[in-house]
Amino acid sequence: MRAPLVDGFGRVHTDLRVSLTDRCNLRCTYCMPAEGLDWLPKPELLTDDELVRLAEVFFSMGVRTVRLTGGEPLLRPGLPGLVARLSALGLSLSLTTNGLGLARSAQALRDAGLRRVNVSLDTLRPERFLALTRRDRLADVLSGLTAAKAVGLEPVKVNTVLLRGTNDDEAVELLTWALGEGYALRFIEQMPLDPQHGWDRSTMVSADEILERLRRHVRLTPVEQRGSAPAEEFLVDGGPATVGVVGSVTRPFCASCDRLRLTADGQVRNCLFARKESDLRTPLRRGAGDEELAERLRAAVTAKKAGHGIGSPEFVQPDRPMSAIGG
């Protein structure tokens, strides 16, 4: 074991988000243009062997939880095999997915050691789903959610981004549905990470606004002990059901951030909004030993800033969009 990954502000990093691919089978308007993006060429992606090797180094430095994401992680060929290998290292694994194909793969993923799943869903109305994602696949997402629950990937979480004038009138409907189905719903503030650079703080649906909308219909009681979790949780009508709000922009949680990110092409990012990445793939492919990889990783963590600074005039959106970094 190596020394833990502590940054200059005393934050200990134990959580890793791994992007398995930058590709996707939906085209959510706030995330990707209709024609998609310039996908990474396959030779640039980390192979399963490379990913497992890097995961071992992260583990040796105290990382214990890994969330697999993308792009759409279920598009990664052989995903259950990779999950099994990562899980065998002692990592606790979760997945963020749009849910397409989950009905087919949930059991195999669970058997391979996946513990939890977050499914992204912004609307329950088929025509809105089509407009928002540019694909007519709402039924597939819903059956993916049902399968996740059936195989015991619990709690099944649902992530929702509210967009003004598009689905912001659906907050209560989504909550009522999630409570009825036994899913844990979390609303996420839209962040400046879209390739179109269309994000506008003045029109973003803020955490305050989301809570205000919900409070018109249900009683919300804050749950203490947020820890390093990004979501602020609230008991709904006294509990035990809860709803979460992730106020990444208006209620940043940078001070307790314990996360690192690894892109599909092997770049470490110490923050979702970082403008710099640390390349692990090049040294890995030229045969670097674990010690050198660990040193590079440590340097990346040391360089982490206090916060994302979205509110400051100097803030510049990162070059890579959310789907390429790993959301």
Binding site for ligand SAM (CB under 6 A): 24, 30-31, 69-70, 72, 96-98, 120, 159, 161, 188, 190-191, 193-194, 322-323, 327
Using the rule CB under 6 A, which residue among 32, 37, 103, 151 binds ligand SF4? 32
In this structure, what token pair is assigned to residue 211? 């809570």
Residue 188: contacted member of ligand SF4, ligand SAM, none (CB under 5 to 8 Å, by partner type): ligand SAM
Q: What does the chain come to in residues?
A: 327
Distance CA(18)–CA(231), nearest Å, equals 19
- Residues numbered 82-111 forming contacts with ligand SF4, rule: CB under 6 A: 98
End-to-end CA distance of the chain: 29
Query: Contact at 8 Å (CB) between 137 and 129?
Result: yes
Choose between 94 and 323: whose C-beta lies nearer to ligand SF4.
323
Q: Is 174 in the site for ligand SF4 (CB under 6 A)?
A: no
In terms of phi and psi (left: phi > 0; alpha: psi -120 to 50; beta: otherwise), the region of 176 is alpha
Helix axis angle, 79-88 to 48-60, nearest 10°: 20
Choose between 192 and 266: whose C-beta lies nearer to ligand SAM.
192
Choose between 120 and 167: whose C-beta lies nearer to ligand SAM.
120
| 158 strand-pairing partners | 119, 185
Distance CA(292)–CA(283), nearest Å, equals 8
For the CB of residue 135, give the shortest distance to ligand SAM in the complex, in Å.
Answer: 12
Residue 27: contacted member of ligand SF4, ligand SAM, none (CB under 5 to 8 Å, by partner type): ligand SF4
Q: Is 194 in the site for ligand SF4 (CB under 6 A)?
A: no
Distance CA(103)–CA(233), nearest Å, equals 28
Q: Which of 21, 15, 17, 46 is nearest to 323 (CA)?
A: 21
Q: Is 31 in the site for ligand SF4 (CB under 6 A)?
A: yes
Choose between 297 and 322: whose C-beta lies nearer to ligand SF4.
322
Which residues in this chain contact ligand SF4 in the complex, by CB under 6 A? 24, 26-28, 31-32, 70-72, 98, 120, 323
